[in-house]
Amino acid sequence: MTKKMNYCARCTYPFIAVNLSIDDEGICAACRTAESFNSLTPAFWANRKKLFDKKVEEFLSKKKDSEYDCVIPVSGGKDSYFQTHIMTKEYGLKPLLVTYHGNNYLPEGDYNRDRMRHVFNADHIVMGPSVEVLKKLNRICFKKMGDMNWHAHCGIFTLPIQVAVRFNVPMMIWGEIAWDISGMFEPNDFVEFSARVRHEHSLRGFEWFDMIDDPTDSLAKKDLLWAIYPSDAEILKIGVKGLYIGNFFKWDPYRHTKLMEETYGWKSSETPFERTYRRASNLDDRYENGAHDLLKFIKFGYGRASDHASKDIRTGDLTREQGIEMVRRYDHVVSTDLYFWLDYVGMTELEFWETADRFRDPRVWWIEDGQWVKDNIWGTPSSYGPVHLPEAAQEKYKRLK
Ligand SMILES: [Zn+2]
């Protein structure tokens, strides 16, 4: 087993960790997909808009007059504003906004979320599970899969379709597609929201019923009603479908952010994040860029700064050298929200590291003098903190020459 990390020649993604394919020039599939999107002309997007016009018309013909025109899942982020801007201002529709509230909002995120009702003439359902249940789920999922934020991924991708079914609304409008991260989809795939991507990708293959067997944190079905995906029969009866607006409108995060700030008073974070240089992402969840993402670094050896830098290199907003500098500065940082989280769920820091170390990928990490060591994109390995694994579990982390 090699412990050598190989990186894309264009962005900052490591191949082991991200599971991307690589071509003969050493360029990753996500960079190639971005290339094909970047080469699309204004005429192409004008055509795509016409296709979207038709889709919207089809959906509106399926619903009754008295019902909402569409459901828009929103966190209150810049992308939520962009989706809602298109549907209300360009199409003149009456959406029902739906938010999953995981009790992790930053103050600017609270402000942006609540402002949507003021600026878009839209009704808004904000649903948050019991905080006691959330604390249990944070603990259960951290131990089960090394991710305290499973509840958020589950809520975000379940609540909107529950609401669409309950209010008889066939059209759900999602934002960006994950093609830029995974290189999984091409422009002509017209990928739609699906139960499969939700289950396998967003929920890591777990469902609500996997959460009710914990010996210390007991949960029942009635605690997790918001996490239950509607049945096929319910979905088919209404014909609910989720469209990604990113299939039809050019996705340009920096231009969208500026537009939303100027038009609607949307606010980015006033204080910088500790684990990335961007200020406009993930204001709905203090851990997304923080402790949740630190766990990604612990598992796979790369973090949110690698994600952001790779995206920004692909759009020409950063050079690769600048991207690597961001990775060097941010990817490994143990951010202070970790201590906020430990206090929230009542866990010691030692307990955190002992659990987190169980999830380290042995293809990425090795042990040297009681420290975790890994390769870096800048060429020389470095150590990233003490090992908290029992001796017996350290065998697979031996350095291979
Ligand atoms: Zn790449």
**Alpha-carbon distance 240 to 247, whole Å?**
18
* pLDDT for residue 179 is more than 70: no
Residue 183 CA to ligand 1 centre (angstroms): 9
Helix (H/G/I), strand (E/B), else coil: 274: coil
CATH 3.40.50.620 domain position(s) in the chain: 42-253
CA of 323 to the centre of ligand 1 (A): 12
Distance 293 CA to ligand 1 centre (A): 20
In the reported structure, the alpha carbon of residue 29 is separated from the centroid of ligand 1 by a whole-number distance in angstroms of 7
Give distance in angstroms: CA of 344 to centre of ligand 1: 37
Helix, strand, or coil (residue 52)? helix
Q: Give me the DSSP letters along 323-344.
A: HHHHHHHHTT---THHHHHHHH
- Which residues fall inside 5 Å of ion ligand 1, going by CB? 8, 10-11, 28, 31
Q: Which tokens in the block code for residue 374?
A: 């890994």
Q: Which residue would you say has higher pLDDT here, 246 or 188?
A: 246
Alpha-carbon separation of residue 105 from 284, 288, 337 (angstroms) = 4, 10, 12
Distance 311 CA to ligand 1 centre (A): 9
* pLDDT band at 17; cut points 50, 70, 90: low
Q: What is the pLDDT of residues 292-341, one digit of tens each?
A: 999 999 999 999 999 999 999 998 999 999 999 999 999 999 999 999 99
How many angstroms separate the alpha carbon of residue 127 from the centre of ligand 1?
37
Residue 65 pLDDT > 80:
no
Q: Mean of the per-residue pLDDT values for the chain? A: 92
Give the pLDDT of residue 231: 96
Span 179-200, mean pLDDT?
A: 75
300 CA → ligand 1 middle, Å = 16
Tell me what pLDDT residue 2 has. Answer: 58
d(CA 40, ligand 1 centre) in Å: 19
β-bridge partners, 98: 73, 125
Q: Are the beta carbons of 119 and 298 closer than 8 angstroms?
A: no
Please tell me the distance between residue 204's alpha carbon and the centre of ligand 1 in angstroms.
24
pLDDT of 261 higher than 90: yes
Nearest Cα neighbor of 356 from 286, 277, 298 is 298
Residue 15 Cα to ligand 1 middle (Å): 9
User: Each residue of 120-143: pLDDT tens digit?
Assistant: 999 999 999 999 999 999 999 999
Å from CA of 27 to ligand 1 middle: 5
Q: What is the pLDDT of residues 95-121, one digit of tens each?
A: 999 999 999 999 999 999 999 999 999
| Angstrom distance (rounded) from CA 185 to CA 30 | 9
The tokens describing 10, both together, are: 């264009």
Taking the centre of ligand 1 as the mean of its atom positions, its distance from the CA of residue 190, in whole angstroms, is 22
CA–CA separation, 329 vs 309, rounded Å?
Answer: 12
Topology (CATH level 3) of domain 42-253: Rossmann fold (3.40.50)
11, 320 Cβ separation under 8 angstroms:
yes
180 neighbors 34 (Cβ within 8 angstroms)? yes
Instruction: Give the model's pLDDT for residue 46.
Output: 96
Residue partners of 71: CB distance under 8 A and separation at least 6: 95, 96, 97, 98, 160, 163, 164, 167, 169, 171, 172, 173
- The C-alpha angle 99, 229, 239, rounded to 5 degrees, equals 90
CA–centroid distance, 181 to ligand 1, in Å, is 9
pLDDT computed for residue 184 by the predictor: 66
Distance 33 CA to ligand 1 centre (A): 9
pLDDT grade, residue 291 (50/70/90)?
Answer: very high
Q: Which residues of 263-276 are buried (b: 16+ CB within 10 A; e: fewer)?
A: ebebbbbeeebebb
Share of the chain above pLDDT 90, in %: 76
Task: Output the six-digit token pair for 157.
Answer: 């991708």
Pair 290, 273: CB distance under 8 Å: yes
